[in-house]
Amino acid sequence: ADETTLNVIQDGRETKSKSYMWLYHSGGHESEHPIVLYEYQATRAGAHAANFLQGFSGHLQVDGYAG
């Protein structure tokens, strides 16, 4: 799981505002059909990843972001 910034053009929002794309990868060795899932969020709050991963069990590789 990891997040990266992107700019979103949206009415009523400054063009300099940061948004975030959270990426999740199933892992090539864990599945016959690995996937990469992209989840758009307006903030970098770690709660987004926590909500998405609720109920997950297995290995999780992260970059150490504590948010």
pTM over 0.75: no
SS3 content of the chain, % helix, strand, coil (to 5): 10, 30, 60
* Per-residue confidence in pLDDT tens, the chain, 67 aa: 788 898 888 777 777 778 899 998 887 666 788 888 999 998 889 899 899 999 998 888 888 777 7
Provide the pLDDT for residue 28.
66
Decide if 33 contacts 25 (C-beta within 8 A): no
- The domain limits of the chain are 2-52
